[in-house]
Structures are given as structure tokens and as C-alpha cells.
């Protein structure tokens, strides 16, 4: 037990608050995370994920000069600690300004934003997905819908993220698009596709196979969830709406968006 009214106790309490915030962010990315016992100047954290064969452990420390996220044990998959450490460091940055960040992209390129959502209503679970295609800073296409297949429900919003990517690849096939940049907020989408994370679930195995067999060259761009980026905010809204209302949109209905998100062509910020 850490004594009260000590610097270590105060640091542990601060670490607990930071751990709660970090866990909330990891939950958005499909993790099951819990805060464990306090330690000197910190708190233990446990992490589980559908792609992982075992629970991982770490300690979040708040020291006098440095705040750190330190892994415990040797069973961490290659690269995962670095990914989570980068995510942790974003918590230490000044809080970002709210919307709106412009859609910026290279001339002639095609960009797809994807997102997934999960909701439970009257003891029924539903997963939403959405994607939106942008060219020259203008929205040109997109869809949203919901799924409720049993092998998808166990992955919650992650299944919606995977489905959105698969629908983007279908769009590419239908429109003879061989190169695309996919902007996403769930790290596993790129790791599963690239083989750096295990695909233990049937759903993630199928996802990896479909990406590999698509013939589309994908540039994966990780963005911060709920960070005010315009394209991400739009697909997040559509995915949540589709999950909540169990609907399919063959075209994205801009009229249901909040007014601040209804511009389908975004003027680049000065200097961009």
C-alpha cells in the first residue's frame, strides 16, 4: 500500500487519471483494457485484444521529470509496444482544436476515409461502417451500412472498420482504381493487412485475405480518432448513424450531417 500524502501517492493518483483516459482511447480501437494495482509513481495496466493470444501488461509512470508507459514481460508482439507508446504520447500533447481540419491530398490521388461503430439497443447489437472517397479535396462517393453477423459482433466496432475497407476495395474494383490512400483511426487495419499482427479471428483472417487479393496498392495513413479531422468526423457520424438505425446508404446523405460537416468540397487551409 502506498502511503497517503507522499509524492509517490500523488503521482500514482495522477497516473490513475491518465490511465483512465488512455484506456478510453484504447477501447475505441477495440482493446479491452483495465487499470490494475497502484505502484510507486504509477499504475499497472492490462490490455487484451481479439488479435492477441494473451493479455499484455504495462505500467504507466508519472515521474518528477517524465511521464512514461513501460511494458512488462517479453510476450509483446513485435511493433505493438511502439504503436501504443506513440498513442500514449498523444495524450501528453496540448488538446487539439476542434473541427475543422481540411482535406489535403496530392494532386490526382484518391483518398478513402473509413470508420466503424458499435451499439446495443434492446439487447440487440449492431455494427455500423462507412467510407467516403475524396479526389482533389472533393467528396465524390461513399456508402454506409450496418452488419450483425455473429462472427462480426465479437469484434464490435473493429468489424465495421474491416468491412469499410473491404467496401473501399470493391469501389476500387468497380472504378478501375489501382492506387488508393486509406485514412483510418484503428491501428489494426494496417497491421492485419500487412501481416504484422496475427489474424486469430475468422473475421480478421478473411479481411487480410481480401486485402491481399484485391490487387489494389494501398497507402495506409493512421489518423487520430475524434481529433477534429473533417473526413474522419464525417465517416464516424455515418457509421454511428448506420449502426443506431440499422440502415444502408448506397450514397451518403449529407442532409443528416451536422451543419459544420456538410461541405463536400473543402477549401485547403492557407499554405496547403
CATH (domain of 226): 3.30.420.10
Assess whether pLDDT exceeds 80 at residue 258: yes
Assess whether pLDDT exceeds 70 at residue 50: yes
At residue 33, the 3 state secondary structure works out as strand
Cβ–Cβ under 8 Å, residues 155 and 204 = yes
Assess whether pLDDT exceeds 90 at residue 268: no
Cβ–Cβ under 8 Å, residues 195 and 69 = no
pLDDT at 154: 57
**How many domains, the chain?**
2
Q: Are residues 56 and 118 in the same domain?
A: no
At residue 67, the 3 state secondary structure works out as strand
Q: Are residues 245 and 159 in the same domain?
A: yes
Write down which residue in 58, 91, 124 finishes a domain: 91
pLDDT at 149: 66
Tell me the average pLDDT across 237-264: 87
Q: What is the CA angle 160-165-166, rounded to 5? A: 95
Q: Are residues 230 and 129 in the same domain?
A: yes
pLDDT at 223: 85
Q: Are residues 171 and 62 in the same domain?
A: no
CA 40, CA 77: separation in Å to the nearest integer? Answer: 27
Residue 167 lies in a domain: yes
CA 8, CA 25: separation in Å to the nearest integer? Answer: 25
Residue 269 lies in a domain: no
Q: Are residues 44 and 155 in the same domain?
A: no
Assess whether pLDDT exceeds 70 at residue 53: yes
153 is written with which cell numbers?
A: 459482433
At residue 69, the 3 state secondary structure works out as strand
CA 268, CA 29: separation in Å to the nearest integer? Answer: 29
CA 150, CA 4: separation in Å to the nearest integer? Answer: 48
Q: Are residues 127 and 249 in the same domain?
A: yes
Residue 266 lies in a domain: no
Tell me the average pLDDT across 80-87: 81
pLDDT at 5: 52
CA 211, CA 215: separation in Å to the nearest integer? Answer: 8
Assess whether pLDDT exceeds 50 at residue 44: yes
Tens digit of each residue's pLDDT (9 = 90 or more) over 127-182:
889 999 999 888 999 999 988 766 655 567 788 899 999 999 999 999 999 999 99
What's the mean pLDDT when you consider all of the chain? 81
Name residue 142's beta-bridge partners.
Answer: 132
C-alpha radius of gyration, the chain, whole number: 20
Alpha helical stretches, state H, the chain: 7-28, 80-91, 150-153, 157-174, 188-194, 202-212, 230-245
pLDDT at 122: 60
Residues of the domain holding 231: 110-261
Amino acid at each position: 500500500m502506498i502511503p497517503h500524502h507522499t509524492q509517490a501517492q500523488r503521482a500514482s493518483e495522477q497516473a490513475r487519471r491518465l490511465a483512465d483516459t488512455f484506456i478510453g482511447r484504447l477501447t475505441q480501437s477495440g482493446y479491452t483494457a483495465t487499470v490494475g494495482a497502484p505502484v510507486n509513481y504509477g499504475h499497472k495496466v492490462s490490455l487484451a485484444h481479439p488479435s492477441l493470444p494473451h493479455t499484455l501488461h504495462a505500467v504507466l509512470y508519472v515521474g518528477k521529470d517524465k511521464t512514461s508507459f513501460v511494458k512488462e514481460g517479453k510476450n509483446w508482439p513485435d511493433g505493438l509496444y511502439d504503436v501504443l507508446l506513440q498513442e500514449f504520447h498523444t495524450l501528453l500533447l496540448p488538446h487539439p482544436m476542434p473541427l475543422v481540419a481540411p482535406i489535403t491530398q496530392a494532386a490526382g490521388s484518391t483518398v478513402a476515409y473509413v470508420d466503424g461503430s458499435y451499439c446495443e439497443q434492446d439487447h440487440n447489437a449492431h455494427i455500423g461502417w462507412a467510407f467516403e472517397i475524396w479526389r482533389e479535396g472533393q467528396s465524390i462517393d461513399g456508402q454506409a451500412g450496418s452488419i450483425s453477423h455473429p462472427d462480426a459482433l465479437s469484434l464490435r466496432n473493429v468489424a465495421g472498420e474491416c468491412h469499410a475497407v473491404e467496401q473501399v476495395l470493391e469501389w476500387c474494383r468497380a472504378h478501375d482504381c489501382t492506387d488508393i490512400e486509406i485514412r483510418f483511426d484503428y491501428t489494426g487495419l494496417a497491421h492485419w493487412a500487412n501481416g504484422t499482427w496475427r489474424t486469430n479471428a475468422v473475421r480478421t483472417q478473411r479481411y487480410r485475405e481480401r486485402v491481399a487479393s484485391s490487387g489494389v496498392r494501398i497507402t495506409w495513413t493512421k489518423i487520430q480518432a475524434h481529433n477534429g479531422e473533417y473526413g474522419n468526423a464525417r465517416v464516424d457520424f455515418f457509421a454511428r448513424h448506420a449502426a443506431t438505425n440499422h440502415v444502408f446508404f448506397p450514397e451518403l446523405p449529407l442532409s443528416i450531417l451536422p451543419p459544420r460537416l456538410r461541405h463536400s468540397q473543402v477549401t485547403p487551409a492557407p499554405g496547403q
